[in-house]
Amino acid sequence: MAEKTIMLVCAAGMSTSLLVSKMEKAAAAKGLDAEIFAVSASEADAHLANKNVDVLLLGPQVRFMKSQFEKKVADKNIPVDIINMQDYGMMNGEKVLDHVLTLI
């Protein structure tokens, strides 16, 4: 089981998959045991119900959903934040992972 579970949420769950692989490489380089996965906004509730998520990050295209997700996870004490648009556009997995580590 992964030490930290990081869930990325985007419109379709596709554009974020490349970012996931870059974040996994950055985690491996840091010696961090992390499960990082991406889902579409419509699948997020099912994953939150079935997994112990440590951090939830929203892609810039679904930033408007932040307050909805904060309400959904308020009782689980899961930090919710938006992926920096520049880091997302550049697919900078290391910077996104570093941001995650500040949230945990």
Residue 14 has pLDDT above 80, yes or no: no
| Higher pLDDT pick, 15 / 21 | 21
The arrangement of secondary structure in 4-103, i.e. its CATH architecture, is 3-Layer(aba) Sandwich (3.40)
Q: Distance between CA 31 and CA 22 in Å, rounded? A: 14
The predicted pLDDT at position 13 comes to 67
Average pLDDT of the residues in 20-44: 95
Distance of alpha carbon 12 from alpha carbon 62, whole angstroms: 10
Cross-strand partners of 4: 34
Residue 92: partners with Cβ closer than 8 Å, 6 or more residues away: 22, 86
* pLDDT higher than threshold 70 for residue 21: yes
pTM of the full predicted structure? 0.94
**Is the pLDDT score of 50 beyond 60?**
yes
Whole-angstrom distance, CA of residue 8 vs CA of residue 56: 6
| Residue numbers annotated as active site | 10
